[in-house]
Amino acid sequence: MKIKQVHNAPPPLPKAKRVAAYARVSCGTEAMLHSMSAQVSYYSEYISNNSEWEYAGVFVDEALTGTKDNRPGFQKMLSEARAGNILLIITKSISRFARNTLTVLESVRELKAIGVDVFFEEQNIYSLSAEGEVMLSILASYAQEESRSVSENIKWRVRKDFKNGRINYLRVLGYHLVDGVVTIIPEEVGLVRGIFADYLSGMGITSIMKKYHKQGVKLSQGKIAGMLRNEKYAGDMLLQKSFITDHISKKKVMNTGQLPQYHIIDNHEAIIPKPMFEAVQAEILRRSKKLKPKITPMNIYPFTSLIRCEKCGVHYRRKHTNAGTKYEKIVWICDTFNTLGKDECDSQQIPEDILTLKTMEVLEVDSFCETTLHTFISEIRVPEHNRLIFIFADGHEVAVDWENPSRRESWTPEMKAAARQKALEVHQSRKENDSK
């Protein structure tokens, strides 16, 4: 009998859980430095003393703001968590994690989705526990109420300012606010007056846009049309032209009588004389009556306002090309390229069937669903030819490449037979000519 000794490999040691801590300290005081040092030392020692934990760092921010985007330490911690380098985050309390309830809720939900737990010492709650589920539900209700309260306070303040003829924001070519006063920007006056003069001379909005594009001034058709109707250029100011419907959708709609408006005459120095401004309004009305455009409702498609060209910054639009021919297809095309051509934006049209297929691939689904698309994807960017970047609602990105199927693959047997017949006819015709 032969006995052989077997050397079994030792069982793998359990992997230590990578643990980090987050602290937010008050700024602007000498005590802040001592507080920061004390918290870093406390958490470093606290984590290192646990044999089941692996130290993953202490992330600290000054309490300038409780929002997520303005805290570099918090952002770095989230990046490490997304990369799989952190499995547990320890923080003193919910208020230290973020002052804004909505920020807490969004951050904890994102971390939960990638399996990262958050322990709030003061509340003695782990976000992945049953108590954490209850906490998220409570935070969600608080966040909605907090959002509503903030929204109503802002609306009240803005409407009070409107009633008193004051504005706190202005974004108009040719003007800016100086200590609350609408003030002319001298270097932009010539451009504004030129646009009004061009329109009165008979030029259309598209022609005006093309003229200034050649001069390096990027103005859209909508921007120019809005300028020609803007009473601010005549020195007046109409307040509350639009408003936000509610704090949840944050949808902006035009004010057509739902709320009061306030028209202030001769509020500031005019760039366009009133007679000239009134002449432009009369010309706009004359052209609109002459053209009598057919009013049709705007079609909204699943990808409407979702695809953005990174070459020029505008959105893609849906287009039906080669209608009634064998090459008929639906594509999405950059609006700048479609309106002004390749010289203004060297972008590329994307067949809708390929766009749909790549979306399904990125979302890892077997069928296309508009609701799923808008739930998970916030934007689709087109940085270059044959490349798409899908921006997810949680901030992460997925890049995919695509290509058009070759024309040969898209040809039907009938199309191939017709092409062969045409080639034979051309060959026969050349042969006959040569024999003459």
Q: What pTM value is reported for the model?
A: 0.45
pLDDT above 80: residue 349? yes
Q: Are residues 327 and 278 in the same domain?
A: no
The whole domain housing 391 covers 307-404
Report phi then psi at 392, rounded to 5.
-80, 160
Report phi then psi at 317, rounded to 5.
-125, 160
- CATH number of the domain to which 25 belongs: 3.40.50.1390
Q: Are residues 183 and 220 in the same domain?
A: yes
Q: Are residues 315 and 282 in the same domain?
A: no
Among residues 95, 113, 145, the one where a domain terminates is 145
Among residues 241, 264, 291, the one where a domain terminates is 291
Q: Are residues 124 and 214 in the same domain?
A: no
Residues 319, 311: contact at Cβ < 8 Å?
no
359 within a domain of the structure (yes/no): yes
12 within a domain of the structure (yes/no): no
228 within a domain of the structure (yes/no): yes
What pLDDT, on the 0 to 100 scale, is given for residue 335?
87
Q: Are residues 181 and 95 in the same domain?
A: no
- CATH number of the domain to which 239 belongs: 3.90.1750.20
Residues 397, 385: contact at Cβ < 8 Å?
no
Q: Are residues 26 and 53 in the same domain?
A: yes
347 within a domain of the structure (yes/no): yes
44 within a domain of the structure (yes/no): yes
Q: Are residues 191 and 283 in the same domain?
A: yes
Q: Are residues 35 and 122 in the same domain?
A: yes
The pLDDT of 325-331, averaged and rounded, is: 83
pLDDT above 80: residue 181? yes
Q: Are residues 83 and 189 in the same domain?
A: no
Please state at what angle helix 186-200 crosses helix 205-214, rounded to 10 degrees: 140
Q: Measure the CA–CA gap between 149 and 154, rounded to whole angstroms.
A: 9
Q: Which of 43-52, 244-253, 316-325 has the largest mean confidence?
A: 43-52
pLDDT above 60: residue 73? yes
Q: Are residues 187 and 279 in the same domain?
A: yes
152 within a domain of the structure (yes/no): no
Report phi then psi at 279, rounded to 5.
-65, -40
Q: Are residues 93 and 206 in the same domain?
A: no
225 within a domain of the structure (yes/no): yes
Q: Helix, strand, or coil here: 402?
A: coil
pLDDT above 90: residue 199? yes
The pLDDT of 305-320, averaged and rounded, is: 90
Q: Are residues 232 and 262 in the same domain?
A: yes
Among residues 291, 320, 336, the one where a domain terminates is 291
Q: What's the structural domain count of the chain?
A: 3
What pLDDT, on the 0 to 100 scale, is given for residue 358?
93
160 within a domain of the structure (yes/no): no
pLDDT above 80: residue 25? no
Cα separation of the two ends of the chain: 101
Query: Quick one: which of 256, 205, 250 has its CA closest to 227?
Result: 205
296 or 183, higher pLDDT = 183
Helix H or strand E encompassing 108: helix 101-113
